Chains A and B, each alone.
Chain A
Amino acid sequence: MSGYHVVVCGSIVPDPLQTLEPITGPTGPSLKNEMMLPAVLDPWAAQALFEAAALAQKAPGSKVWLVALGPKAKLQQVMMAVGQKVPFELVAVDGPAGGFVDAHETAAALAEAVQAIPGLDRARLLLFGGWESGSRGAGVTLQLVGERLGLQDQFQGVDQLTPQPDGSLEILERVEGGKHQVSVVAGPPALLGWATGNLPEPRNNPQVGMANMKGIMPALQKAKPAKVGAADAQYLAVQLPKQQRETRVVKDLTPDAIAAELVEWISKD
């Protein structure tokens, strides 16, 4: 058997152009009009998915799954766009995706969904996901999923994955100062939390979409509900940053001087 079994964990977030206003709803903290706001695939997860597809294309025999926890009706909408980018099989878990969901509960639901994937070869498993998230800013969900699945080789802030001739994988992780830490792992199983990577977004392909949708629609129909939430959490206050920038028109200021002024402004709070 050759190739990888790449499972990408990724969900949806509100379209970043939307106004997000936190409110306390009947089930705890949520966003105002959340269900009615347009959603997109979490940008970090999207990068992970595109990297997974690129890797699968280079390694014959590979397969890609996208495991997504979110309201299935919203997932359906997003999959209409994502499904045309790369081939994958969707595993949908029905639950909230609003950003106020506990990372531990989310990780448990995702791990359970991954374990239930029929035919998944754990020896060839690469668990991909976002190093960060557009909604779950804790940045720990993927790590927790990995822990539950027993994946000890974990890499976060990944920008590049290069399979080596001997079957090992060379991985570039972000470190401070714009540099990368180079690691080599013997091979799967491993967990990679992707940063921005370096692949462009794949071109659209309606034929891929039509093929994907034959699996995506049934997957959405049989999505199991997940008991995740944050009903016990209380948010005492939410507010925008206090800085208010007053625009000034100044001619002939050097870039260094502009930068210095910006740094000074950012440092104030």
Chain B
Amino acid sequence: MAVPAALVSETLSTLPGDDVRSVMWRLEGRYDLQMLIQSVRQVARGPVARLVAEGARSSHDWTEQKNALLEHYDACGATGVFMEPHQGGFLEGPKNLAMALVAFELAWVDAGAATGALAGHLGLSPIHERGTQEQQDRYMSLSAPAAPGEDRKPWRGAFALTEPIPYVGVDTGMLGGKVSVARWEPGQEPVLKVEKRGRFITNMGFANFVTAAVDSADERIKGTCMVILEEGDPGTFDRGTPTKKLVHQLSSTSDPIFSLEVPASRIVGGYSVKDGVIVPRWSHDEIIAAVFKHTRVPVGVMTAAKLLSAVEPVIRYQRGRFRGAQQARPGSPRYDLGLQVREDVLHRLVDVWATGEAAASLGFSTSRLFDELDPLEKVKFQTLQEKGITGRAELRYFKDVNARAVELVKLRAKPEAERDAARVAELEADPLVRYAILDSAGAVLCPATKLWNTGHGATVMREAVALMGGYGITEDCPGFLGHKWMDAQLEATYEGPEAVQRRQLSVCMQNEVFLAQLDAWTKELRHIASERPDTGACNLASAFVLWRYTYDHLQVATDATGQKLYQGPRQGVTFALSDALAWLMAARSLVLDVVELEQKGAENAVLAEGLPGLVRFYQDLSHVQCARASGEVGRICAELVYGYNKHPEWNADAQQACWEARELDELEDLIPGIGSCAKDVIEAGGGHPDKAGPCAHCSSVADFAALRMKLDQCLTGARLAKDRAAEALSKVMIPEALDYPV
């Protein structure tokens, strides 16, 4: 159905380019990051794309061809992005956003390449986050790309965690590695014996060192730790057989075996000796928590890149679908638009695009948050150290900090005129308060990114593949969409599968500072909606309210047997609510990015010309995504609120609460029409309507029913937005050819 011309007068002219992205993802003014994007893109759409097109993914061996990519990663800056300038890097300051951008550009073509390029950072991360200064200096400088004229091969790292073989994945509590004391001469540094078998270890085909998690197998070593293993250490450094994975073939993955002797100084973060026992400064759990706090976000960004990269190939396929057929003559709608004469394909592509945008918005906003958080975390670390606060004392100390953080969040949510500006300034001056706010949000946004982008993203990637017809599941599908669909499944799994992310969400979303922010975000969305009603922000705000009601309800509600609903082991409740929250977070991020585009786009000379159409289109995408998110939230919340109550049966108690036909007949004389309002009527002989039981009333959650109904009504206009976005897709100008091979 054609959309009235008035509704599409301003629409998308071209596919969004770097200028659009730099505004939405707040890269304007960051020429270092824009440079990084350009250089990594050249590698992705050059050597990486050529390898995929040549069929390099058909082998899981680490070949010379694949190995050649490492030098390209060095040259484009992908391997140096993690390091400080004095260590051989080139970027100042926190690097979360930079790493997410590298992941995005590489995954646009092949996520295995992205994993391969970034896996070295994962190997280095334990050292970066918790290593001693000596460890940091040694391994960072060894791993830095060689400077021009320098004759040196950079070291590559790998990260070995994993539960015992044969399974694949990460469970931080199920360690398979052991460490014991091999020799300990008086007055000398102890020598450790490390026995570790890894499973599904990325970079193992060429790694020079490995950071491995191990558990003590010796009473002279306390607890768990991480150790650094080098390929030249005495013993066995066996890279193992390549993992027979079906995906991410441009990264090297194998199952290594280590049986090595290493000095105790290789314990990440160092150790002390107490009563003849080696006490590592950090347990492997503490190190991994610090590592995964950051590194999961780029994985989510990878799937976002796949979805957005699918848009152009799908449009090209749809438009050219009938060209060459006798019935589609040049100049005819079938020739010019191909499949795009039909609404269905356009609507489905709008869904793919909207999901990709929301996933990217979520991933990059989380990366930016961590860039802001990193320096504050160092301040927090130093403050606690100076005060000698550790363990549970830290929780007690932060009770007061969190209270002030909540106060600040609430103050910020007020209109400026109503705020106590002095108090706001006072609270904002406290780095720990700022830390508490950002940390509580990051603890939710990071798993939400990993969970939603990869999990829901994989499902939507299937839709993109389906939109390519039979082409979608061929190796030569333009944009390699079939490969990308398969790869998405791995992204949903590694660095913590979906259950791990849901578990973290279900814990972290209970933080009072986060919940205060959630309430503030709801207000913010209403405010955005008042100025930009077409973004879908109002609909989303209603979904936020419903989620919050459900959360509060579940904290106190019990099921039909009287069991508490919101509790750790009850994953049917907590995990589902986590899923709903992830939907909200993604849609909110997109709304904020669209607002940014509208506000800042006009300042960009490149965008000024087509900005009204661009903003119109993005508002429609945002509206579509908000509607989809609110639908999911409504469904999940309704299931949780109603689903744990027992449905009434046709037993005596239930029947007693129903109308009797006789009563209705009598009342009909007094209140004409009352009979038509009664749902469950018991006949004189005890007969009842043919269904499971009397309709459930759940009068205790009447507020929920009202909110749910309001949410549904808030969908008003969402389909019109989808129609407009679909119409724009049928008109947008695309390049003559993909800029990387098929």
- Does B395 sit within 8 A of A, measured CB to CB? no
Known contacts A73-B606, A205-B75; 13 further A-B pairs (Cβ under 8 A): A15-B739, A17-B739, A33-B609, A35-B609, A36-B607, A71-B605, A72-B605, A81-B35, A81-B42, A84-B35, A206-B90, A210-B35, A217-B31
Q: List CB contacts (< 8 Å) of B586-610 with chain A.
A: 604-610
Q: Which 7 A-B pairs have the closest CB atoms?
A: A206-B77, A81-B38, A73-B605, A17-B735, A36-B14, A206-B90, A80-B34
- Does A24 sit within 8 A of B, measured CB to CB? no
Q: Knowing A35-B605, A35-B609 touch, does A19 contact B733 (C-beta < 8 A)?
A: yes
Q: List CB contacts (< 8 Å) of A60-106 with chain B.
A: 71-74, 76-77, 80-81, 83-84
Bits for A241-258, please: 1 = Cβ < 8 Å to B, else 0.
Answer: 000000000000000000
Bits for A193-218, please: 1 = Cβ < 8 Å to B, else 0.
Answer: 00000000001111111100100010
- Does B668 sit within 8 A of A, measured CB to CB? no
**A residues less than 8 Å from B39 (CB atoms):** 81, 84, 204, 206, 209
Question: How far apart are the CA atoms of A174 and B603 in the complex, in Å?
Answer: 46
Distance in Å: Cβ of A236 to nearest Cβ of chain B: 23
**B residues less than 8 Å from A73 (CB atoms):** 19, 604-606
Cβ-closest chain B residue relative to A18: B735
Q: Knowing A18-B735, A80-B37, A81-B38 touch, does A33 contact B13 (C-beta < 8 A)?
A: yes
Cβ-closest chain A residue relative to B330: A244
A38:B18 contact, CB within 8 angstroms: yes
Question: How far apart are the CA atoms of A179 and B607 in the complex, in Å?
Answer: 46
Distance in Å: Cβ of A27 to nearest Cβ of chain B: 12
- Does A32 sit within 8 A of B, measured CB to CB? yes
Question: How far apart are the CA atoms of A213 and B36 in the complex, in Å?
Answer: 12
- Does A219 sit within 8 A of B, measured CB to CB? no
Distance in Å: Cβ of B383 to nearest Cβ of chain A: 33
B35:A213 contact, CB within 8 angstroms: yes
- Does B123 sit within 8 A of A, measured CB to CB? no
Question: How far apart are the CA atoms of A35 and B611 in the complex, in Å?
Answer: 11
**B residues less than 8 Å from A208 (CB atoms):** 148
Cβ-closest chain B residue relative to A81: B38
- Does A230 sit within 8 A of B, measured CB to CB? no
**B residues less than 8 Å from A38 (CB atoms):** 17-18
Q: List CB contacts (< 8 Å) of B25-42 with chain A.
A: 31-32, 34-39, 42
- Does A185 sit within 8 A of B, measured CB to CB? no
12 A–B contacts, CB within 8 A, in A order: A15-B739, A36-B606, A38-B18, A77-B34, A81-B42, A204-B75, A205-B148, A206-B77, A206-B80, A207-B147, A209-B39, A217-B31
A80:B605 contact, CB within 8 angstroms: no
Cβ-closest chain B residue relative to A17: B735
Q: Knowing A19-B733, A84-B38, A203-B75 touch, does A37 contact B605 (C-beta < 8 A)?
A: no
A36:B32 contact, CB within 8 angstroms: no
- Does B417 sit within 8 A of A, measured CB to CB? no
* Chain A interface, number of residues (Cβ within 8 angstroms): 31
**A residues less than 8 Å from B604 (CB atoms):** 73
Question: How far apart are the CA atoms of A206 and B604 in the complex, in Å?
Answer: 25
A33's partner among B34, B605, B733, B739 (CB-CB below 8 A) is: B733
Cβ-closest chain B residue relative to A206: B77
**B residues less than 8 Å from A76 (CB atoms):** 31
Question: How far apart are the CA atoms of A217 and B32 in the complex, in Å?
Answer: 11
**A residues less than 8 Å from B38 (CB atoms):** 80-81, 84
A204's partner among B32, B42, B606, B739 (CB-CB below 8 A) is: B42
**A residues less than 8 Å from B77 (CB atoms):** 204, 206
Question: How far apart are the CA atoms of A220 and B281 in the complex, in Å?
Answer: 51
Distance in Å: Cβ of A72 to nearest Cβ of chain B: 8
Distance in Å: Cβ of A225 to nearest Cβ of chain B: 12
* Chain B interface, number of residues (Cβ within 8 angstroms): 36
A210:B75 contact, CB within 8 angstroms: no
- Does B76 sit within 8 A of A, measured CB to CB? yes
**A residues less than 8 Å from B18 (CB atoms):** 38, 77
**B residues less than 8 Å from A71 (CB atoms):** 605-606
- Does B736 sit within 8 A of A, measured CB to CB? yes
Distance in Å: Cβ of A223 to nearest Cβ of chain B: 12
Distance in Å: Cβ of A79 to nearest Cβ of chain B: 9
B35's partner among A15, A35, A74, A80 (CB-CB below 8 A) is: A80
**B residues less than 8 Å from A84 (CB atoms):** 35, 38-39
**B residues less than 8 Å from A213 (CB atoms):** 31-32, 35
A83:B35 contact, CB within 8 angstroms: yes
A77's partner among B19, B42, B738 (CB-CB below 8 A) is: B19
Question: How far apart are the CA atoms of A126 and B42 in the complex, in Å?
Answer: 30
Question: How far apart are the CA atoms of A207 and B606 in the complex, in Å?
Answer: 27
Question: How far apart are the CA atoms of A15 and B736 in the complex, in Å?
Answer: 10
Q: List CB contacts (< 8 Å) of B81-104 with chain A.
A: 90
Question: How far apart are the CA atoms of A80 and B736 in the complex, in Å?
Answer: 24
B737:A17 contact, CB within 8 angstroms: yes
Question: How far apart are the CA atoms of A38 and B45 in the complex, in Å?
Answer: 15
Distance in Å: Cβ of A232 to nearest Cβ of chain B: 23
**B residues less than 8 Å from A19 (CB atoms):** 733-736
Cβ-closest chain B residue relative to A205: B148
Cβ-closest chain A residue relative to B734: A19
B606:A210 contact, CB within 8 angstroms: no
**A residues less than 8 Å from B13 (CB atoms):** 33, 36
Question: How far apart are the CA atoms of A17 and B738 in the complex, in Å?
Answer: 8
**A residues less than 8 Å from B75 (CB atoms):** 203-205
Question: How far apart are the CA atoms of A40 and B604 in the complex, in Å?
Answer: 19
Cβ-closest chain A residue relative to B89: A206
**B residues less than 8 Å from A206 (CB atoms):** 35-36, 39, 76-77, 80, 90
Question: How far apart are the CA atoms of A15 and B36 in the complex, in Å?
Answer: 19
**A residues less than 8 Å from B605 (CB atoms):** 35, 71-73
Bits for A23-48, please: 1 = Cβ < 8 Å to B, else 0.
Answer: 00000000011011110000000000
B32:A210 contact, CB within 8 angstroms: yes
Distance in Å: Cβ of A233 to nearest Cβ of chain B: 21
Question: How far apart are the CA atoms of A77 and B37 in the complex, in Å?
Answer: 11
B736:A18 contact, CB within 8 angstroms: yes
Question: How far apart are the CA atoms of A109 and B36 in the complex, in Å?
Answer: 32
**A residues less than 8 Å from B738 (CB atoms):** 17
Distance in Å: Cβ of B562 to nearest Cβ of chain A: 62
A74:B736 contact, CB within 8 angstroms: no
**A residues less than 8 Å from B14 (CB atoms):** 33, 36-37
Bits for B708-740, please: 1 = Cβ < 8 Å to A, else 0.
Answer: 000000000000000000000000011111110
Question: How far apart are the CA atoms of A32 and B39 in the complex, in Å?
Answer: 28
Cβ-closest chain A residue relative to B20: A36
Cβ-closest chain A residue relative to B22: A77
Question: How far apart are the CA atoms of A17 and B19 in the complex, in Å?
Answer: 18
Question: How far apart are the CA atoms of A206 and B77 in the complex, in Å?
Answer: 6
Question: How far apart are the CA atoms of A168 and B733 in the complex, in Å?
Answer: 51
Q: Knowing A207-B90, A207-B148 touch, does A32 contact B609 (C-beta < 8 A)?
A: no
A36:B736 contact, CB within 8 angstroms: no
**A residues less than 8 Å from B43 (CB atoms):** 204
Question: How far apart are the CA atoms of A205 and B735 in the complex, in Å?
Answer: 29
Question: How far apart are the CA atoms of A217 and B35 in the complex, in Å?
Answer: 12
A36:B17 contact, CB within 8 angstroms: yes
B36, B610, B735: most-surrounded residue (chain A CB, <10 A): B735
Question: How far apart are the CA atoms of A36 and B13 in the complex, in Å?
Answer: 8
Q: List CB contacts (< 8 Å) of B647-686 with chain A.
A: none
**B residues less than 8 Å from A210 (CB atoms):** 32, 35, 90
Question: How far apart are the CA atoms of A19 and B42 in the complex, in Å?
Answer: 21
Distance in Å: Cβ of B161 to nearest Cβ of chain A: 30
B609:A36 contact, CB within 8 angstroms: yes
B736:A33 contact, CB within 8 angstroms: no
